[in-house]
Structure 1
Amino acid sequence: MAETHRTKMLILGSGPAGLSAAIYAARAGMEPIVVQGMEPGGQLTTTTEVENYPGFAELIQGPWLMEQMQKQAENCGAKMIWDHISEVDLSQRPFRMKGDSGDEYVGDVLVIATGAQARWLGIESETALRGKGLSACATCDGFFFRGKKVAVIGGGNTAVEEALYLTNHSDDVTLIHRRDELRAEKILQERLFAHPNITVLWDKTVDKFVGEGDPEGLVAIDLKDTKTGEITQIPAEGGFVAIGHDPATALFKGHLELDSDNYIKVEPGSTRTSVPGVFACGDVMDKIYRQAVTAAGTGCMAALDAEKFFAETEFEQG
């Protein structure tokens, strides 16, 4: 039998943003329900080594960190439900959602923390070497490739920024682009071309990521020339796919204001969306930083914004 779950604060998503919101909401007596989504724990559950999350002197594991966040939220009083929201009605409060399970979720305020996913190339060797020399975030993982030869795949702002960032750790960075010119902003291109430690390979696509060793790790990349079809190989111990991210916002099109890249628009300096009582945090609204610690920070902000909104509307209603 389908159930109806009612709460003062409904939170969609269980990554660092959603769980941080849950911790703050539970401590404020909001009795939050967290609908965990298709990937409980978010992107960190697919990340092995985490070295840049504050508070841990030693390297930690991504899945362990998310497990601890969830336990903390539950200990504070948050309720976790494994389900995926497939329908939303934001036309009036309380907001109503329907899950794939058939259950209905009703919340006086809503916090959206559904995150974003890095785009991948979609080739078989890529899946096998993720986390084994292959990454979609130079800021997250570049430190692990100090002094090693690394390659970045892409041609937009993200790819150029990642290539420039990686020069902090490597003096041998290669940018691989499928066309003969970049899409990145002119100022970024100028910085890239002026850097002595970056080489650009034009008209190349990745044919295969090559792994060796036990445990297996990336050692080379096979490239296909887009004009001649010729296959060449370059050595690389680190590979970074930087072809963009897709925020999980399809569900909210027509309900909330989105920007040109489909991220949820929020008021500057807050987590307030275009619908009063609906708040967004983490990678679903942040296309610049995309870090676990910034997601957690905006999760805190969303809970505080939502709790304040709830208190004010309750007072106004008498």
Structure 2
Amino acid sequence: MDNHFDVIVIGAGAAGLTAGIYLSRAKVRTLILNEGAVGGQMVLTHEIANYPGVHSISGYELARNMKTQAQNFGCTIKSNLRITSFDLSGEVKKITVNEKDTYTSHAVIIATGGRSRTIGAVGEDTFKGKGISYCATCDGDFFQDKEIIVVGGGNSALEEAVALTKYASKVTVVHQFDHFQA
């Protein structure tokens, strides 16, 4: 098996899959490596209604479609693995997964995304994407004419609260201190 690729993409969320689609379509031999399931944070989203050209789709469906599209163009995708070492210092980049398989390339794209801060509330995982949201810009429309709570007192929480006033009938900010830190 040839473990050398033109480009290795680390991360299979929206950015990583998009890179895989564009590179593979351009006949660039591409490998996507991902620690978890393909799709990143989007697979946790119950409904995506702001993706251009798509009326409404679940995050899981969109991730599956993007994965299929990348593979149809020839992209190799390996998921549910662990990157155990890497050396990006030389002309040839080396990435080892699961302490045994090493892949090489001349270029690496790091598309590992981010994670939303959670509060650890009972039921938080159950209602993620079904009432609990971490992106007002993405999900504001789902809260049209509803009374909602924003948790936090930093810049992000207050910016989200202000953005949600365009949709919600009432926005309450809950914070653990007697003053905002924003």
* TM-score of the aligned structures, taking structure 1 as reference length: 0.55
Offset of residue 149 of structure 1: 0.1
CA distance in 1, matches of 2:75, 2:102: 18
Summarize the alignment of residues 203-214 of structure 1 with structure 2, pairs less than 5 Å apart: none
1:88-126, CA deviations, whole angstroms, 9 ceiling, x for partnerless residues?
A: 111112111111262111111001111111110123321
Indicate which of 127, 130, 139 corresponds to 1:129: 127
Offset of residue 135 of structure 1: 1.3
The answer to whether the 8 A contact 2:46-2:130 is kept is no
Question: How many residue pairs get matched?
Answer: 181
Aligned partner of 2:95 in structure 1 is 97
Aligned partner of 1:178 in structure 2 is 176
Offset of residue 128 of structure 1: 2.4
Give the ranges of 4+ consecutive aligned residues of structure 1 lying more than 6 Å apart after TM superposition. none
Aligned partner of 2:59 in structure 1 is 62
Question: What value does the CA root-mean-square deviation take over the aligned residues?
Answer: 1.4
Offset of residue 132 of structure 1: 2.3
CA distance in 1, matches of 2:97, 2:2: 10
Identity, % of aligned pairs? 38
The answer to whether the 8 A contact 1:4-1:106 is kept is no
- Greater Rg over alpha carbons, structure: 1
1:52 aligns with 2:50: yes
Offset of residue 85 of structure 1: 1.3
Offset of residue 175 of structure 1: 0.6
Offset of residue 37 of structure 1: 2.1
Which consecutive unaligned segments of at least 5 residues does structure 2 have?
A: none
1:78 aligns with 2:75: yes
Q: Secondary structure at the match of 2:123?
A: helix
* TM-score of the aligned structures, taking structure 2 as reference length: 0.94
Aligned partner of 1:112 in structure 2 is 110
Query: In the alignment, residue 164 of structure 2 is paired with which amino acid?
Result: L
CA distance in 1, matches of 2:139, 2:68: 26
Offset of residue 160 of structure 1: 0.5
1:275-312, CA deviations, whole angstroms, 9 ceiling, x for partnerless residues?
A: xxxxxxxxxxxxxxxxxxxxxxxxxxxxxxxxxxxxxx
Q: Secondary structure at the match of 1:121?
A: coil
Offset of residue 4 of structure 1: 6.6
CA distance in 1, matches of 2:130, 2:16: 28
The answer to whether the 8 A contact 2:148-2:171 is kept is yes
1:125-157, CA deviations, whole angstroms, 9 ceiling, x for partnerless residues?
A: 212222221111111111111000011001111
CA distance in 2, matches of 1:16, 1:69: 8
The answer to whether the 8 A contact 2:85-2:99 is kept is no
